[in-house]
Chain A
């Protein structure tokens, strides 16, 4: 079955450490997104990419970096510059369309500071 795979499910980061969250999709979708969700809050967009080798900052990009070298993959790196990284991170993708296309989500990664 097609879908989005995020790994790991749980991740712990030490102070000053960079960590990378994986997101892989086999839906042949063009666009991919990273969201951050804090407890009791909605989703906020970190980065998104509409095509390979191109990506744009979302609303809260500071302290994060991404790459899009392959259509299927959109990894997110949480750098040491992100001072409050503890959150639930969701990756999503959409096909090309006229705007009504549904975003498909992965199951998320929970990141905590040690």
Chain B
């Protein structure tokens, strides 16, 4: 079974509108972390936002917010007031079994290509 599922291969949004990118995950761990990354056409991976499984409040970072619904195992990314520069590939990722010492690997979804239009 896929650990991270992103069901939207491509999305279009008009400039200044909000957009939601879907992500569902599958884990039996109680302690895990969820990440969103942005990858422009140049290829670099840019960290956007993080949500821990025990965080009670949804994470927010500027125009990015994470709609975390633990019971449904979903971690959707909401981008408010879209800008042309938001056009990129967006990846959801999960780190399971959070431990001290670091090093647990990330599992990535297949991504959603977002295109912001005028």
Contacts and interface: CB of A to CB of B under 8 A. Distances in A.
A98 B103 contact: no
Interface string B28-59: 00011101000000111101001010000000
Contacts of A33: 105-106
Chain B, interface SS category: loop
Nearest to A102: B47
A31 B102 contact: yes
Contact of B103 (A31, A44, A45): A31
28 contacts: A30-B103, A31-B102, A33-B105, A40-B110, A41-B110, A42-B108, A42-B109, A43-B108, A45-B105, A48-B103, A96-B101, A96-B102, A96-B103, A98-B98, A98-B99, A98-B100, A99-B32, A99-B97, A99-B98, A99-B102, A99-B104, A100-B98, A101-B102, A102-B50, A103-B35, A103-B106, A104-B47, A105-B44
